[in-house]
Structure 1
Amino acid sequence: MGLPRFKRPEGTSEPSSNLYVANCGPAVGLTLDTIETVFGAYGQVKGVHLADESGTRVIVSYRDEKSAESALKALNRRACPELGGRSLHIQYSVPSVCQVAVNDSVQVSTEASELDIPGLYLIHDFISAKEEEELLAAVDSGPWQKLAKRKVQHYGFEFHYNTRNVNTKQYLGELPSFLSPILDKMSVFQKLGYTETVLLDQLTVNEYPLGVGLSPHIDTHSAFEGLIFSLSLAGPCIMEFRKYSTGVWPTSADTLSDEEAQHSDKSSKFLRRAIYLPPRSMLLLSGEARYAWHHYIPHHKIDVVNDSRIRRGLRRVSFTIRKVRKGPCECEFPEYCDSQK
């Protein structure tokens, strides 16, 4: 089973409801949700997908050709303020007959120690099945905020997806009581050699429907401190990690030439690792894993782990627990750090 791909346009392409958009994507700091919102101003968008593994090109699929034509005329080769001022390179595209493997040929590990990513830890069965059931019931009793493809809840501080940051002046209150049993267990990471203690104050709950993933990104350095905890509930997934050789992608509109934007070999070398996250497992990103590696959940319905095909559940819920940063980041990875640009 594979995922559909789209062809890179060759020469003058015929009108289509699908647009191939270069110089745009998660590797340049633009989430698929943000891109969908901007292109949605020109018509109903069916979806936004990565055009390839570079993270700098996407496919925007409209319901009709007229909407695609309007977006192309309005945005092609023009700086778009809503997308970081980037100059987009847009052409029509059509579905490709080729298919890609479920995991795109990246080896999937089941233990964090196998990935050789400093600061990455994974604990299986961090909570019991009963605790998982209670946590799901707790969040399902609260209000959900709908995004383009998933639902979220925020506690402590709200995360703003348009700026990828938090407003430290908008305090939502203490973390919910249902999180206390999880926080009480954090000391278990000391057995893995991690000894830092920090008072966590922000929780984002995500609900992913079957087949929905997460764009490659690094949690904004200036937004959060050095620990990112992620608890998986209800369903499994593959999480991929990418380390770009040139750090975070440049964000000025004129940094990438048209030629560079079209060819990933010149603009997007990266290392790839992948790990299987079963339900009730807790992942910790710290140090290099938190500050220098993009993390990414492929948009799959089926993952391959050790030659086994594992179908994701109808829903996956994640608890991302962090500490909001109150000042600039002074980490040891300035090439990836928004505070040190």
Structure 2
Amino acid sequence: MLEIGSVSSSLVSRQCGNPSCDKIYKTLLKCTRCRLQVYCGIDCQKADWPNHKKICKLKAEDLKKKSEPTNSFVEKTTPIPGLRLIENFISNDLHNRFIEQMAKGLPEKNNGHFDGYEFEDNEAFEKVFNELTKDIFTKLKSLNFFANERKPLQLACTLIGYEKDGFITKHIDSPLLSRGDVIVISFKSPVVVNFYSEKKIEKQQHKIFIPPKSMYCISGEARYEWSHAILSNEDSYNSKKFERDKRYVALFTPPGPLYTGELIDY
């Protein structure tokens, strides 16, 4: 389908984009789809359309990508020492493709959530998952996560799913399964994670709002002196309601001595 262009004026004369036309003009019609090709008039634009349409779509898509704002992640401050939260850590494209694969997964039911995922089309899942982990690890390395771990490093990976009312009971991640920092990548639904100080002298509780596409890291004091939980009925933060949905998590951590699951080269 021909898209009639807008007028483009220039101080420099340019030749019509139709190869059959040898006229040169200062005022030309611009293709409104790709906004790159120009013509001396509508007749030349129509005449060249069978040739131009082959590349017009590609040019238009490339132009759209260039005009779209770049997703840059933003680190948020938290009141808990050792807890780091970075929003927009995952691109929309990877986020949506990973959700699509997780929705096809066959998990085992646990207390308030799902884990032990298997996939009928494992090749399709691995294609997306490998691209996702490559992107995640590149960003983690640029921010010096796991910088003090002995190299080469392999990370344990656990995939977790939550229903709309899913939960996880109050706990501290066992050092038998995770011997270091815990990286959590959050997909699809926002959630509130409750953190509880286990110090005998000073008892505190903080609620941390986790948007989709976020990464949070539990390390140091947050890792060993604070427990955390997700409540099944919590759908508000700072007195504002939010819509909960199915949620998926990819968790990465240096494996503890009793971990027997998948390991991924970091």
TM-score, normalised on structure 2?
0.57
How far apart are 1:151 and its partner, in Å? 1.7
Q: Is the 2:195–2:206 Cα contact (8 Å) retained in structure 1?
A: yes
Q: Which runs of 4+ in 1 moved over 6 A?
A: none
2:81 pairs with 1:127: no
- CA deviations on 1:105-149 (whole Å, 9 max, x unpaired) are xxxxx975241x221111100011111012122333443112243
- Match in the other structure for 2:107: 144
Number of matched residues? Answer: 172
- Match in the other structure for 1:212: 166
Stretches of structure 2 lacking an aligned partner (at least 5 in a row): 1-73, 119-128, 259-266
- CA deviations on 1:264-313 (whole Å, 9 max, x unpaired) are xxxxx7311111000000000111111111011122252123x4221212
2:77 pairs with 1:113: yes
1:200 and 1:136 map into 2 onto residues whose CA distance is 24
Looking at CA atoms only, which structure, 1 or 2, has the larger radius of gyration?
A: 2
Query: What code does the residue aligned with 1:228 have?
Result: V
**Secondary structure of the residue that 1:279 maps to in structure 2?**
coil
Relative to structure 1, is the Cα distance of residues 240 and 301 closer, same or farther in structure 2, using a 3 angstrom cutoff? closer
2:148 pairs with 1:196: yes
How far apart are 1:200 and its partner, in Å? 4.0
Query: What code does the residue aligned with 1:214 have?
Result: I
**Secondary structure of the residue that 2:90 maps to in structure 1?**
coil
Relative to structure 1, is the Cα distance of residues 210 and 135 closer, same or farther in structure 2, using a 3 angstrom cutoff? same
Q: Which of residues 308, 312, 319 in structure 1 aligns to 2:250?
A: 319
Q: Is the 1:119–1:290 Cα contact (8 Å) retained in structure 2?
A: yes
Q: Is the 2:196–2:228 Cα contact (8 Å) retained in structure 1?
A: yes
Identity %: 23
Relative to structure 1, is the Cα distance of residues 215 and 148 closer, same or farther in structure 2, using a 3 angstrom cutoff? closer
Query: What code does the residue aligned with 1:309 have?
Result: K
RMSD, aligned CA: 2.7
2:165 and 2:227 map into 1 onto residues whose CA distance is 20
1:271 and 1:321 map into 2 onto residues whose CA distance is 27
- Match in the other structure for 1:186: 140
Q: Is the 1:118–1:288 Cα contact (8 Å) retained in structure 2?
A: yes
Query: What code does the residue aligned with 1:283 have?
Result: Y
TM-score, normalised on structure 1?
0.45
How far apart are 1:195 and its partner, in Å? 4.3
2:113 and 2:193 map into 1 onto residues whose CA distance is 17
- CA deviations on 1:234-283 (whole Å, 9 max, x unpaired) are 00000111112349xxxxxxxxxxxxxxxxxxxxx731111100000000
- Match in the other structure for 1:302: 235
- Match in the other structure for 1:177: 130
- Match in the other structure for 1:261: none
Aligned pairs (5 A) from 1:96-111: none
Relative to structure 1, is the Cα distance of residues 213 and 222 closer, same or farther in structure 2, using a 3 angstrom cutoff? same
**Secondary structure of the residue that 2:166 maps to in structure 1?**
coil
How far apart are 1:194 and its partner, in Å? 7.8
Relative to structure 1, is the Cα distance of residues 153 and 133 closer, same or farther in structure 2, using a 3 angstrom cutoff? farther
- Match in the other structure for 1:245: 199
- CA deviations on 1:197-237 (whole Å, 9 max, x unpaired) are 56342111111111222111000123212110001100000
- Match in the other structure for 1:278: 211
2:221 pairs with 1:288: yes
1:141 and 1:273 map into 2 onto residues whose CA distance is 34
**Secondary structure of the residue that 1:226 maps to in structure 2?**
coil
Query: What code does the residue aligned with 1:241 have?
Result: F
